[in-house]
Structures are given as C-alpha cells and as structure tokens.
Structure 1
Amino acid sequence: MARIVLAMSGGVDSSVAAHLLLDAGHEVIGVFMRHGEESSAVCKVDDQAAATSLPVLGGMASGRADHKQGCCTASDAADARRVASKMGIPFYALDLTEDFGRIVDYFVDDYLSGRTPNPCVRCNQWIKFGRLFDYADGVNAEFVATGHYARMLNIGGVNQLHRGLDSNKDQSYALFGIRRDRLDRMLLPVGGFEKPRIREIAESLMMGVAGKKDSQEICFVTQGHHSDFVRARDPQRSSDTDGEIVTAEGKVVGQHHGFEAFTVGQRKKLGVAMGEPYFVIRIEPDTRRVVIGKKEALAKESLVAGEANWLVDAADVPERVSVQIRYNGAPVPGSLALMPDDPSRFTVRFDEPELAVAPGQAAVVYDGTRVIGGGWIE
C-alpha cells in the first residue's frame, strides 16, 4: 500500500480516480489546487480545514461571479470536498496564488508578443506536476496522481507516458512537459478506461458528479474574450496594439483594435468581409499587422520548436515520429531532427503540409502511443 497525493478537481475523472486508488488498497490524500477565481465563501471553509492539519502550499481568493465551466470554480471545490468526505479520505486545499500568477503572466505576455499560449499545458508542467510533487514530499507521499486521460506503462522496466485508452478524451498532449525523473512517481488511474465507463462507475457509487461536464475553458478568464482579460491585466502594453489587417500580398483591407484578439488559424470575427473564407496566417507584433489569407496559405511544411522536454535520452529520440500541434488535433507523421549542439530545439518536417502551425503552441512528439517529449513552436 502506498501513500498517494491525488489532485481532486471536483470532476468525475478525479473522483473516480480516488475510488480506483482506494480500491487498490492505497492511502489517498485528496487536494484541491486553488489557482483560479472562485467563491471566497468556499475558500474560507477550505482554509479552516486545511489549517488544522497538513501544510498549505498556497490558493487564490476572489469572487467568481459567472458559471463558466472552468477547472477550479467554487462548485468544483465543494464537489471535491463532498466526494472526499463520502470516501472517507482527507481533503486539503493548496493555495497557489503566487505560483499561478506565473501562468497568468505567461498567458498575457504570449498574446502581447503575437503568440498563442497554452496555459493548461504550462499549468501541468509548473503546478500540477510541479508544486504538487513538493506537497507530496512534504507529507511523505510516494506518488502523485491525477484524473488525466493518459497512461503510465512499465515496459522493459521503464515507466513510459502513453496516450489514454479513450482516443476521444486523450490528454497526453498536455503532459509532455513533466520532468522525466518524475515519471516513476506518477499515477494516472483513469487512463486505461473509456469515458463512458468512468461515468458509469461514478453513477454506481452515487458520487453526484457522474453527469458533470468536462472542464473546457481557461479557468482565469471568467468572462468575455481572452483579449479583454489581456487588456485588463496589462493596460499599458495593450494600449498600443491597434493596427492594420492586411492580405498575404500586403494589401490593407481593414483595421483592428489589438492583435492580441487574434490567433493563427482564426477564421471568424476577423472584422473584414472578403467574399470568401480568409484565415489569420500570421501576426506581426512589431508592425502590429494581422496578416490574413486563404486556407492554403496556412499550410506549413515544417516547424521549429524550442524549450524541449524529452522523456527519453536525446540520443533515443527517433527520426520518424508523429507530432501533435494543438490540443484537439490529431498526430501527423513527419521527420524530426534535433538542432546541432542544442537538443532543446528541434525541427519537424511534415509528410504532408500541416495547417495553422501557431507559434506559442506545443508540438508534442509521439512514437506510436508513447510520448517522447515535445517543445514550443517558435
């Protein structure tokens, strides 16, 4: 039997993960990571409970007024506490205000630099599988577990990160940034199940979360468009981002009120009528121009990525790989080459041109179902 720290979000996946771990005979400590905007009333309850026992690493306390389906709302905290109580496992809140500020700053900076950030992937890298391990060490826990749809497989005595069994719910893309030395301490209990089965288990145990929707939105953008959040967070930098909308040929076809409102591959709400579908193909922060073009202009034969995190030795990174360049995208085949003298950067040449290769997004590398690593598109 092992002591395991389980991240409990209040959703069906982490709730069933708690059951599966208990059923396997483990000691489970449930934690709710407060790093979004949520009800202060629930936070106060969590604070009182947490203060009496295990140490609190950190949480954000502010008022979330809407009902967006994020990952750390007041109702999520209440659901997580209720499920933990029903299962008879200890439950604590981790206050990660300071840590999560790094995620928010990264999000804002990327948009104001003409890139498309992925805060959920960064959160897994820096917080969920970063600070959560610090907490586990503080309570002498051997493992850290979450409700992600991915699998840890031991093959030839090596713990490997693989795609989840349910291809429609696979979340391995978001986990590529985990430190390699932590794979031996990771548990992903629901990754070997399909989502309908997880809901069935939750229903049979009367957890009250079986029908709960999956979290799909950025937890700290509580209302409006992401650009509204960016402008409110950094009004000085965002006050000078207006500019021209131009075609790939350089023709000015309109004006925009901030390039931070656009992402590569975007088709809707461009603010111009072209008579046929046009897409954002490039954002130029230096000139403040948003460049648009027809769909074929989005096609790229290759990409360059940096800040690579490899889950294998650099010498074992295969040349022929599959690469996924967006969270809901499908992996596509290509050839990978590490940059000479710098394995933190690599190039991928696609077998077929790939659409909407967006700077700032993650390029995750697979060998079959195994996550080899990945980096950030430059």
Structure 2
Amino acid sequence: MSGHGRKVVVAMSGGVDSSVAALMLVRQGWSVTGLFMRSGLVTVASDPDAPAAADDAGDARRVADHLGIPLHVLDVGDGFQRLVDYFVDEYGRGRTPNPCVVCNRDLKFGRLLDCALDLGAEAIATGHYARVADRGGEPALLRSADPDKDQSYALFAIPCDRLGRIVLPLGEQTKAASRRMAAESGLPVHDKAESQDACFVAGDYADLIRQRRPDLLRPGPIVDELGREVGRHQGIAAFTIGQRRGVRVAFGQPRYVVSLDAATATVHVGPQEHLLARGLRVEDANWLTARPPRDGDVIEADVQIRYKHRAARGRVAVRGGGADVRFDEPQRAVTPGQAAVFYVGDRVLGGGWIVRALGAEDALP
C-alpha cells in the first residue's frame, strides 16, 4: 500500500515487529511519526535478566533516529494501572485474564489512536500479525497470512468503528521475513529477543499478585471429582483450567485442574475427559461488522478459545449482549476469563469473554 505522504502514527514498543512496521511505512511513502507508550509502572521481576522498560524506550528512540522519524512519548500510566487491576482482579474471580486483548482495546487502539488523531494522523499502525481489508464495502479484521504468527484473536475487542483507522503492515508476511528485513536494513533491534511475558510482569506474575492481592495466594484444598480433599495448594492464582503441573496429588492417572472456586479458594481436579466441553457461554460480545447479528440469530462459525488454539467449528447463538456456542466436537479446557473469537473464513466476525463451559445439562444452540 502506498502512503503518498499520508500521515500515520506507529505504536513503537522498541521491539522488532513495530520497528519493521515503521520501516515498511517509511518505504511506502507514508509520513510516519513514532509513538512510545510509557506505562509509568515499576514491574515486579523475579528474573534479574528481564529487560527494563527504559531499555525499550531507548530502543524505540534508536530505531526512530535510524529511520529519521520523530518519536513522541505518551504517558499511559493510569491506563496501565487499570490494566494491572483487571489482571489481578480476574485471578480474584477464579478466572484467567487476557491482558493483551484488553490492552489492545483500551490502550493501543484506544488511547494511542486518539493521540494519533490529535497529532493530525489519519491512522495508527502497529506490528501485529493480522490484516485489515475491505470486505463488502466495510473494513474487516482478517487473519494474518502467516498462520503460525496470527494475532487477530487478540484484536477482536477493538470497536468496529476504529477498524478503518488501523494499518497493519506485517499482515502479509511471516515473522522470519520481518527478522530478515530488520537485519538487512540495519535496524538497531534486529536481533532483539521476543518478549514472552505480559509487558507489566517481567518474570513470575505471582510476585505482582503477592504485592497487590496477597489474599489470592492463601492456601486452600484440592478436591477431586468425588468431592474428596486430595491435597493442598498455596493460592488459586497459580492455577488455570487444564493445568497439570503443580497438581501434586497421588492418583493412578493424571489429574488436571477442571475448575476454580475463588470464594472457597478450592481447586477442583479430575481426569482429562472432565476437561471436555460441548459448548461455552460468552458475555460482552463485540461484533466487527456494521451489520452485527441480532438477538436470536444463530451463526455457523469457527471458534477460537485461546491464543494458538486451532479454531473449532460450532454454532453461535446470539443472546442478550453475549452468545452461547455449541461445538461440533467437544473442546478441551474452556477457560473463564479468556476470549472466544468467532471466524467466518479468515474474517473475525466478533467474539466475547468466556463465562463458563457448557455441558450435557445445558441447553445448547
């Protein structure tokens, strides 16, 4: 896509992907400005080698200088504070949070896009591996051309009316191609390691929870499928649905976490078949189309229930701001707090936040 001098702001994290996105836009003729998001938070790191936020800011500055573009810094400390509160509070509800989805919605394509518009840009660009393209006369969010790196799942919650203001330069290429482009162009971060943690938790997130909500790390019982106490744990925040590691109980067969009860600090475990769900329920659905489905509509879709999960075919029944899903084949480890994202072909139709798994006792669409 040629920019022809059009103004775009690139969200620059100091990493390889956002740096290559900026490089590509400069080469395409856009008038590019970089924008670094400063959290203002001090991370809790159990890993002494974890990179500091100051290093990321310095890397973003070096890349901007290399490309000859201006770089602004936006202080979003209050937004990051709310993100951390959400992260910790979800564990307090016995759910597994997905902070990247919330950050994309509220900060990267919320606060940063607002700032980009204030700077006179017509769009914001990021280093996400996904695509925005015209479908039926409206902008649509699509999977990346690289299925191994596709990040469209994490973008489902962006408000529909913002899609037309988003540019995703990396959506048509692979991560390997981005690395190669970074090296060939001499970007200062071409060999920088990819972050594996939530950006505000460098290392063990239990340290953050211990500081913010020590009550979430209180001991409690581990209970099997027959209601027997078979062990003890040191806090439900250390567990997620489907987990086997850390379930230290004596059984002839492996046992997995099948549910969490935050009120009683109880971890329920069972055999692997107890992880299978016929369906799920979501709340707070977000639809990425100008013609969203109406209450009572039933849609055939592929449903992705976590990052890297292979989307499963199912029926999505739209109900009261959310939806119920019935899978064609039962799915493993449906996890409250995670997102369920609905695809029609390679297009993200919408999605919502998983409330609970649905089983044989539930009415399914």
**Fold match by TM threshold 0.5:** yes
What is the aligned partner in structure 1 of residue 64 from structure 2? 84
8 Å contact kept, 1:66–1:222: no
Task: Tell me whether 1:267 sits opposite 2:244 in the alignment.
Answer: yes
What is the aligned partner in structure 1 of residue 310 from structure 2? 330
Task: Give the Cα–Cα distance (whole angstroms) in 2 for the partners of residues 286 and 17 of structure 1.
Answer: 45
What is the aligned partner in structure 2 of residue 349 from structure 1? 326
- What SS does the aligned partner of 1:191 have? helix
What is the aligned partner in structure 2 of residue 14 from structure 1? 18
Task: Give the Cα–Cα distance (whole angstroms) in 2 for the partners of residues 318 and 336 of structure 1.
Answer: 5
- What SS does the aligned partner of 1:123 have? helix
| 1:18-97 superposed matches below 5 A | 18-35=22-39, 59-60=40-41, 66-68=48-50, 73-97=53-77
Task: Tell me whether 1:276 sits opposite 2:253 in the alignment.
Answer: yes
8 Å contact kept, 1:264–1:280: yes
What is the aligned partner in structure 1 of residue 353 from structure 2? 376
What is the aligned partner in structure 1 of residue 359 from structure 2? none
What is the aligned partner in structure 2 of residue 238 from structure 1? 216
- What SS does the aligned partner of 2:197 have? coil
Task: Give the Cα–Cα distance (whole angstroms) in 1 for the partners of residues 298 and 136 of structure 2.
Answer: 18
8 Å contact kept, 1:318–1:367: no
8 Å contact kept, 1:68–1:217: no
Task: Give the Cα–Cα distance (whole angstroms) in 2 for the partners of residues 358 and 13 of structure 1.
Answer: 29
Task: Give the Cα–Cα distance (whole angstroms) in 2 for the partners of residues 267 and 191 of structure 1.
Answer: 35
Per-residue deviation, 1:20: 1.1
User: What TM-score do the two structures reach when normalised by structure 2?
Assistant: 0.91
Which residue among 118, 130, 148 is the counterpart of 1:168?
148
8 Å contact kept, 2:8–2:124: yes
- What SS does the aligned partner of 1:20 have? helix
Per-residue deviation, 1:137: 2.1
What is the aligned partner in structure 2 of residue 46 from structure 1? none
Task: Tell me whether 1:309 sits opposite 2:286 in the alignment.
Answer: yes
Per-residue deviation, 1:292: 0.4
Task: Tell me whether 1:229 sits opposite 2:208 in the alignment.
Answer: yes
What is the aligned partner in structure 1 of residue 169 from structure 2? 189
Per-residue deviation, 1:331: 0.8
Q: Could you tell me the percent identity over the aligned residues?
A: 47
Per-residue deviation, 1:308: 0.8
Q: Which runs of 4+ in 1 moved over 6 A?
A: 62-65
Task: Give the Cα–Cα distance (whole angstroms) in 2 for the partners of residues 324 and 151 of structure 1.
Answer: 17
Give the number of equivalent residue pairs.
347
What is the aligned partner in structure 2 of residue 38 from structure 1? none
* Partner AA of 2:117 in structure 1: D
Task: Give the Cα–Cα distance (whole angstroms) in 2 for the partners of residues 5 and 350 of structure 1.
Answer: 40
8 Å contact kept, 1:282–1:291: yes
8 Å contact kept, 1:150–1:170: yes
Per-residue deviation, 1:215: 1.8
Task: Give the Cα–Cα distance (whole angstroms) in 1 for the partners of residues 224 and 239 of structure 2.
Answer: 15
Flag structure 1 segments of 5+ consecutive residues without an equivalent.
Answer: 36-58
What is the aligned partner in structure 2 of residue 48 from structure 1? none
Task: Tell me whether 1:124 sits opposite 2:101 in the alignment.
Answer: no
For the structure 1 residues 61 and 89, does the alpha-carbon distance in structure 2 shift closer, same or farther, using more than 3 Å as the test?
farther
Instruction: Give the CA RMSD over aligned residues.
Output: 1.8
Per-residue deviation, 1:275: 3.6
Which residue among 121, 136, 155 is the counterpart of 1:141?
121
- What SS does the aligned partner of 2:170 have? coil
